Every structure is written in structure tokens, then in C-alpha cells.
A and B are shown apart, each in its own frame.
Chain A
Amino acid sequence: AQKITQTQPGMFVQEKEAVTLDCTYDTSDQSYGLFWYKQPSSGEMIFLIYQGSYDEQNATEGRYSLNFQKARKSANLVISASQLGDSAMYFCAMREFSYGGATNKLIFGTGTLLAVQP
């Protein structure tokens, strides 16, 4: 069964430093996508970055990069040069690519609460 595991309930990082948020996943599918979302205290879920299982390059979006290690089934999020506004809950999620309508759902981990300190 597909599963996402985030083992860090909470983390602290100093402003301007880099931080890595861990995510491991379990799936028997060969085709899937991995997503990271940010959820500030306001509650909205903000899409950050996407990595497809067949993408050879690690995804990057501005200060966000995804360290994708397929053999280890890990998809860690790296935030460079942390800012105070990065303080939020971060969720890793996976979507399997089976066609037929029934399995295009997103499965989430339990999240990591990141606190950026000045």
C-alpha cells in the first residue's frame, strides 16, 4: 500500500541557514509523482515543488529543491537561505499515476512543523 512517512514532527532553523525536511515513501507503482506543500497558520495549502518518478534531474523552484533518491524511496525538501516567512507546516505527498480515474488521489504524510528563528 502506498504510504508517506515524515519522521520529523518539528524542526528549528536559524534564519539564512539551509534546512532539509525528510520524506520517505512506499509504492509498488513505477509511475508516480511527489509533491511538497506548505501550510502556514492561515490554513491554506500552498504547492511548492513537484518531482516525477521518471525525472532524472532533481526539481528546483527558487529556494526550494527536492533531493530525490529513487532507490532509497526518499524525496527530501531542501530550503536554502531560510526566511522568517518559511515558518509553517510542510507536507510531503505522493500521487500514483494509474489511469482509470480511481487512483489519482494524493496521499499525505503527517507533516513537519518548521520554525525559523531570527
Chain B
Amino acid sequence: DVKVTQSSRYLVKRTGEKVFLECVQDMDHENMFWYRQDPGLGLRLIYFSYDVKMKEKGDIPEGYSVSREKKERFSLILESASTNQTSMYLCASSLGTPGNTIYFGEGSWLTVV
């Protein structure tokens, strides 16, 4: 079974803090993604990566950066957390070939106070 693991399930951070959300997948997937989910807006893509050290901006990259130093790990970084970044964050991965299913982690609930 594909396993996508997000390191933190629930986080509470202060405004201005640097926040790291970690994601690891165990199926040698080329593609990895970070989504943000807000009520009424569905899931919106923040960043994705199709290879080690490669990244592409999604639809809402402002205020976020990412790092992919190893194939299995994709990190989302909030350089200076703000209250409008309070949200549910979902990591996902898939094989690089189009048509393959994208598998998700359990999500990280981030509250910025």
C-alpha cells in the first residue's frame, strides 16, 4: 500500500514563526504536491515537485516555499506564518506518468495565532 506520511497532525504556531511541514512517501513516486484546504474553496495547489530539487508553483504559492532534497521527502515552509495561513495542509504523491492516482497523507491542521 502507498503510504504518505505527514509528520505533524495538529500544530499551533505564533504569527511570525517559521513553520516546517514535512511529508514522506514510501513508494518511490516522482511527483509530490502540497495542497491547502479551506471550507468552500476545496483544495488549492500550493507547490509541486516532479523530481529531486525541482519545484513548480501552484495556484497559491505566495507566503510559502518548498524543499525537496530527497525523492521521498517534500517539505512545505512558511517563512513567517500569518493568521490567514491557518488551514488544513495536505501532502500528496504520485508516479510521474500521467494517469496515475495521486495519494494523500492524513493532513496537517495548522493554526496560527
B79 partner residues in chain A, CB cutoff 8 A: none
A residues less than 8 Å from B35 (CB atoms) = 108
Look across to chain A and name the residue whose beta carbon is closest to the beta carbon of B90: A45
**Which chain B positions have C-beta within 8 A of A42?**
106
Contact B104 A45, beta carbon cutoff 8 Å: yes
The count of residues in chain A whose C-beta lies closer than 8 Å to any C-beta of chain B is 29
- List residues of chain B with CB within 8 A of the CB of A43: 88, 106-107, 109
Query: Most chain-A CB neighbours within 10 Å: which of B56, B92, B102?
Result: B102
**Interface size grouping (class) on chain B:** 20 to 34
Given contacts A43-B109, A108-B43, A110-B40, contact A101 B50 (CB under 8 A): yes
Residues of A within 8 A of B (CB): 4, 31, 33, 35, 37, 42-45, 47, 50, 52, 91, 93, 95-99, 101-102, 104-111
